[in-house]
């Protein structure tokens, strides 16, 4: 089902993001995680791939499996990286042939070892260009990324918001935010987006913290701010993995409850292929809240 149609009939969506397993052991672990999520009946799931377009083939295989074998409404990530218009058209024809209706369209990160993004021959420099091309030539429902604390490459929040509006006007049907840990930043961002004329649904992206070093690396990479009191708790307990997990779960539950009680149109969980934390957070929400979709 197209997500843009789903949004017309649901007040809230609950969704989960995966990436393709790297080896056989990871694949077994992944299967267990997907099994845990099936009983939650998510609105949709999404599948990403690595920097520079790495693992794209495995991403396509996984979206096929999740959509057509498991029966989950699945969104495929697709980036500008390494693809000219001919390859993009071929890839999207393939995704359409396996009944994928939904795409998350992104510029993408440069390949490992490269600092700057270089547009491929006959390709695109910006996600907005990719969105325009897809909307003009295909009938996918299209999502795009939003950054409550601005994209790391943007000069300032105003510049980032202007770029977001270009993506929206290019045809993005909905937006999913980058991870954040301070809800006030999301509320402020949504308010600014509305004032700028961006009227589509803006779904908050949540990542339950389960590992101190990993989340610190992600925060550094994305520019996400970790509130001082949360950071202090994590730092004080960084050698205690169980304590870190519980601190992360407690904060994510608090975030999610606050977001939903204040009108957020759902939640998108970045699972890092470890669904236990996302499942625990989701199931902690009052039944009347999580069944209201």
More confident residue, 122 or 124: 124
* pLDDT given at position 24: 61
Q: Known catalytic residues?
A: 17
- Residue 137 pLDDT > 90: yes
Query: What is the average pLDDT across 89-114?
Result: 88
pLDDT given at position 78: 94
CA count, 13 A, side-chain hemisphere, 208: 28
pLDDT at 119: 66
- pLDDT higher than threshold 80 for residue 146: yes
The predicted structure's pLDDT at residue 114:
61
For the chain, domains (ranges, CATH) are 3-290 (3.20.20.220)
- What pLDDT score does 22 carry? 72
Separation CA 266–CA 259 (nearest Å): 8
> Does residue 51 register a pLDDT over 70?
no
Task: Give which of 130, 46, 138 is closest to 81, Cα–Cα.
Answer: 130
DSSP structure class, residue 52:
G
pLDDT single digits (tens) 233-270? 999 999 999 999 999 999 999 999 999 999 999 999 99
């Amino acid at each position: 089902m197209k997500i843009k149609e789903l949004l017309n009939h649901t007040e809230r969506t609950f969704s989960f993001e995966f990436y393709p397993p790297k080896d056989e052991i990871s694949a077994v672990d992944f299967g267990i995680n997907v099994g845990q999520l099936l009983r939650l009946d998510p609105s949709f799931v999404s599948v990403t791939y690595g920097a520079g377009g790495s693992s794209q083939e495995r991403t396509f295989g996984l979206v096929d499996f999740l959509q057509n074998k498991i029966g989950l409404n699945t969104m495929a990530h697709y980036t500008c990286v390494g693809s000219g218009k001919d390859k993009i058209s071929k890839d999207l024809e393939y995704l359409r042939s396996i009944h994928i209706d939904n795409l998350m369209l992104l510029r993408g990160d440069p390949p490992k070892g490269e600092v700057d993004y270089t547009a491929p021959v006959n390709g695109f420099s910006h996600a907005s260009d990719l969105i325009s091309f897809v909307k003009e030539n295909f009938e996918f429902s299209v999502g795009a990324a939003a950054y409550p604390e601005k994209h790391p490459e943007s000069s300032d929040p105003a510049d980032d918001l202007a770029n977001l509006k270009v993506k929206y006007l290019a045809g993005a049907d909905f937006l999913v935010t980058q991870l954040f840990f301070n809800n006030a930043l999301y509320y402020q961002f949504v308010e600014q987006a509305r004032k700028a004329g961006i009227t589509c649904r803006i779904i908050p992206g949540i990542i339950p913290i389960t590992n101190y070093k990993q989340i610190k690396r992600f925060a550094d990479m994305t520019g996400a701010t970790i509130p001082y009191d949360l950071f202090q708790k994590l730092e004080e307990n960084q050698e205690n993995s169980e304590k870190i997990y519980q601190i992360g779960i407690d904060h994510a539950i608090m975030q999610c409850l606050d977001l939903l009680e204040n009108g957020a149109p759902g939640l998108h969980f970045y699972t890092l292929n470890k669904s236990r934390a996302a499942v625990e957070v989701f199931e902690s929400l009052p039944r009347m809240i999580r069944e209201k979709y």
